[in-house]
Amino acid sequence: MVTIWHNPRCSKSRQTLNLLEENGQEVEVFKYLDEDLDAGLLEDVLGKLGISARELLRKGESAYKELGLKDTSKSDSELIEAMLSHPKLIERPIVINGDVAALGRPPESVLKILD
């Protein structure tokens, strides 16, 4: 089973979920905007994605500008705390398959982590 960090209002997230289902995947939907997130979970996902916290930020969100997240002196811990406080800052969708994960941008990019 794969897990998708899903925002139903996001077209890329909906397209990625549909793509997974069309490929016969059993999918657990994690609505990350509504669920409790903690730093350990976010750090685990970053490790599976193989990217930094900065690379997971949605730079077009108003909170990005309001919180001054463009400042490159901010640590990964500070960026993770910002994402926990403002989950809309987390790039989506994220698909997790065991020890690996991929961003669904474009949706087809998640196919590389499927069995």
For position 97, which CATH number holds? 3.40.30.10
**Collapsed DSSP state (helix, strand, coil) of residue 30:** strand
Q: What residue type is 20 in one-letter code?
A: L
Contact between 12 and 104 (Cβ < 8 Å): yes
Which pLDDT belongs to residue 115?
75
Mean pLDDT of the chain: 97
Using CA atoms, how far apart are residues 107 and 4, in angstroms rounded to an integer? 12
**Active site annotation includes 10:** yes
Per DSSP, 83 falls in state H
Contact between 53 and 76 (Cβ < 8 Å): yes
58 and 103 both lie in a single domain: no
Tell me how many domains the chain contains: 2
- Model confidence over 87-114: pLDDT tens digits? 999 999 999 999 999 999 999 999 999 9
- Model confidence over 15-37: pLDDT tens digits? 999 999 999 999 999 999 999 89
The domain in which residue 99 lies consists of 1-32+92-115
47 and 84 both lie in a single domain: yes
Q: Catalytic one among 10, 41, 63, 84? A: 10
Start-end of H helices in 1-115: 11-22, 39-49, 62-66, 76-85
